[in-house]
Amino acid sequence: MNKRVVITGLGVISSIGIGWQEFWDSLLKGKSGISKVSSIDTSNHFTHNGGEVKNFRPEDFIPKENSVDLSRATQLAFAASRLAVDDSRLDFKLYDQVSLCLGTTNGSTQAIQHINDLIIANSKIEYNSICKIPTNNTSAFISKSFNFKNYNFIFSTACAAGNYAIGYGYDLIVLKKSDVVLAGGFDPFIRFAFTGFNQFSAVAPEKCQPFDKNRKGMMVSEGSGILVLESLETALKRNAPIYAEILGYGLSCDAYHMTTPSAQGVAECMKKAIREVNIRPEDVDYISAHGTGTQVNDKNECAAIKQVFGPRYKQIPVSSIKSMLGHTMGAASALEAIACALAVKNDVIPPTINYETPDPECDVDCVPNEARKHKVNIALNNSYAFGGNNASLVLKKFASGSQENAI
């Protein structure tokens, strides 16, 4: 149980960049990935903007003859996996126990919608359209492509699924059940989600404004974030670049409401994470907020932060990259974990853009509008989901060349 787990590869497909370098550069510049939706007809919806990945070419990552038979969800997840594998410079053939842990909200629901459209139009349904439907096809394709023969998991804990997947990947290495784990989350932009959140009146008409008094909601988005996890021992042995160390995580279930988060449940999740990794609240240097930009979520998350960190809460930078990306559902916390790893490595915190009017109920230091140089030794990555599924992941700076870096 004394295995230490580090992050040695990052893969990103997002509305603000493909590859972690472009993603990170865009975050620090406060670039918005929100634009007019083009993949679906929004004329009958209340809003028309979202976070689509406009410049994604599946054939850049997958042979064209294979990519046409894959759902958009699988294309996004595989492309981010390819980038993470390449970034890690790890020869997976040298390891017998390589596992895959992925999280998603909608999976390949887009394929079901396509078939529904064909039925309505009385058109022929092709066999490969049906084959795109099962969500497990995504993890199966990735595992087969990379020849991973150990554990293979898909987590469907909605918008916290990415953190759940990373947390479970961490466990597999700590328990010596895997040498290496590819972990993260993915979700495509689909009509089902866009329509649903519009009907909830949860989508902002123009921009996402976490913690702003006049915030009007979230932005439906898409993307994929994948991380390569391995033991510190194997990483040092191959002289791998290490982005950050994963100390552990905390989970909680509100059992409160299907869509509204509980401040108490969110606070318990953070407390569990802090207790699990044996640190103190005052050790946390940065909080990556779930920060959706809805009235209730931001208010309750801030209340939970105040409960956990007490009077010190105003001294901890708390930013939401959803202000730039939109809400990528199952990919959200995975992309935010990548942002945390880069913040920890570089001592820079991405901003919360579109912040205009302070809200007394959300009076955290939200790093408004501009990135900030700030010493980040420990980062807390928060994610909360419908049904009250909460997950907080704890990342720590790894000092290059030092094996005595544990808390």
Question: Three-state SS for 226?
Answer: strand
AA letter at 401: G
Q: Is 86 within 8 Å of 146 (Cβ atoms)?
A: no
- Strands (E) across 98-179 are located at 98-103, 152-155
Helix/strand/coil (H, E, C) string of 212-237? CCCCCCECEECEEEEEEEEEHHHHHH
Residue 373 is inside which H or E element, if any? strand 372-373
Report the b/e string of 299-337 with b at 16+ CB within 10 A. bbbbbbbbbbbeeebeebbbbbbbbbbbbbbbbbbbbbb
Contact call for residues 397 and 345 (beta carbons, < 8 A): yes
Q: What backbone torsions phi and psi does residue 318 show, to the nearest 5 degrees? A: -135, 105
Q: Please pick, among 101, 159, 208, 269, the residue that the annotation labels catalytic.
A: 159
Exactly one of 101, 208, 269, 327 is catalytic; which is it?
A: 327
The DSSP 8-state label assigned to residue 73 in this structure reads H
State how far the Cα of 16 lies from the Cα of 24, in Å rounded to an integer.
9
8 A C-beta contact, residue 247 and residue 285: no
The residue type found at 374 is H
Distance CA 369, CA 18 (A): 22
Q: Terminus-to-terminus CA distance in the chain, angstroms?
A: 15
Specify whether 327 is catalytic: yes
If you ran DSSP here, which 8-state letter would residue 124 be given? P
Could you tell me which residues are beta bridge partners of residue 103? Answer: 155, 185
> What span, in angstroms and rounded, lies between the C-alpha atoms of 159 and 333?
7
Q: Which amino acid, residue 184?
A: G
Rounded Cα distance, 77 and 192, in Å = 19
Spell out where 90-213 has E strands. 98-103, 152-155, 180-187
User: Does the annotation mark 290 as catalytic?
Assistant: yes
Give the three-state DSSP class for 7: strand
Residues classed as catalytic: 159, 290, 327
